[in-house]
Chain A
């Protein structure tokens, strides 16, 4: 199998509060012969705080990252964090559509901006190699889960161009490829509160409660995500969420890379499964009925 080589922008969360996402991504990439080439000397994209406080900086920081990738000869850059992915894609879109912003950013970075690399999210990357996944499944992922996409993978459509904006299905297809079942539900792209995790955790609790409540009501045994903020807000903030719920919930939140890793038979430690706040446990499946003697 030929290696698929792709530029890799880890982003700050994957070095800290979402190390489990990074660990499972690397383990799965290795198993699927994907070579992740980290962009040398990458910087923070500015995230939500960047675009909220400083528009120029919010374009210049991601463009600086993309220029480094281009210099390193990488035509595609994959950003596993949905917020990073969105900031890189938005910056790229602004450079392509706003000559005024482009001129300002060129002045900040003191270089001319030509073609920028294509920006991918982790689901798009895994979809590119989906034919490699099924043959390598050693242990079917036999759970029923809710695929939660959140905001920034799918919105705004004219920037990301990814999947169906209001009812995305690409992550559901990946779960199905490893033997899992996914539920139909209403909160696939509702907001979890994102960067309010610290400054307004009550808002995160309120929004997260609605998401978890619907997933549980429709018999999901776990929620699957592809974003560090979504994971933190639904896992680490479960205390705030449960304060808002009449029926507390303890179903785990997994990264899509952890789900695929489990099906590929990779060790739990390599997938960072011990780092979650809500333990990754699934209800025991009923045993086959005993044969009558």
Chain B
């Protein structure tokens, strides 16, 4: 860990971990706000993208908590506009990924984003099962877990008649191999934390 981080090594700050695990230095950000200015999702957020970085810069648990519990980290679409325009090339999308994963690990993800979290989980569950995404299966799991049963029922029949809605998962992938990749990824992450 680089020496300028102030927290003790027993409990490294999120900034220190982000630098080590994600190779992103939040200290490089000088708060110009260009990321926030160009962010298509900024108006959906409770903390502006540049302020999320600011919260991490202070390396204090209270501020880190605010970043982890923010709605913003789930409203980021991953469009990569911010990092493209950043004069310091701070990889904010990578920082957002890191914060999302940390928020889930600590079980503090913002409740107002629970449907977004469920969507991403349903997506990956579908891939883990079949090796490829089964769109209808993913949407089914999403509906079951969010209770949004009636949403999009209007477009589903049209999708079906236009041949855009498959009723069965696609074969072709090596299911066992993909399931193994998911399992190994969990194991490797566990090892690296010990």
Contact = CB atoms under 8 A, between A and B. Distances in A.
Contacts of A190: 40
Contact of B184 (A16, A110, A166): A110
B66 interface: no
Nearest to A104: B188
Given A47-B123, A51-B97, A191 B189 contact: no
A80 to B, nearest CB: 15
A207 B164 contact: no
Interface residues of B, number: 58
Chain A, interface size: which category? 35 or more
A201 B152 CA distance: 10
A56 B101 CA distance: 11
Contacts of B47: none
B116 A199 contact: yes
Contacts, number: 174
B97 A55 contact: yes
A199 B119 contact: yes
Interface string B145-170: 00000011011001100111110001
Q: Provide the main secondary structure of the chain B interface.
A: helix
Contact of B163 (A19, A43, A155, A165): A19
Contact of B173 (A17, A42, A189, A274): A42
A243 interface: no
A135 to B, nearest CB: 33
A156 B84 contact: yes
Given A42-B172, A274-B162, 4 more contacts: A15-B166, A55-B22, A107-B184, A155-B84
- Give me the 7 closest cross-chain CB pairs, A-B, nearest first: A155-B80, A12-B133, A49-B123, A49-B120, A191-B79, A199-B119, A151-B79
8 contacts: A12-B132, A12-B133, A20-B164, A54-B124, A57-B182, A110-B184, A189-B81, A193-B40
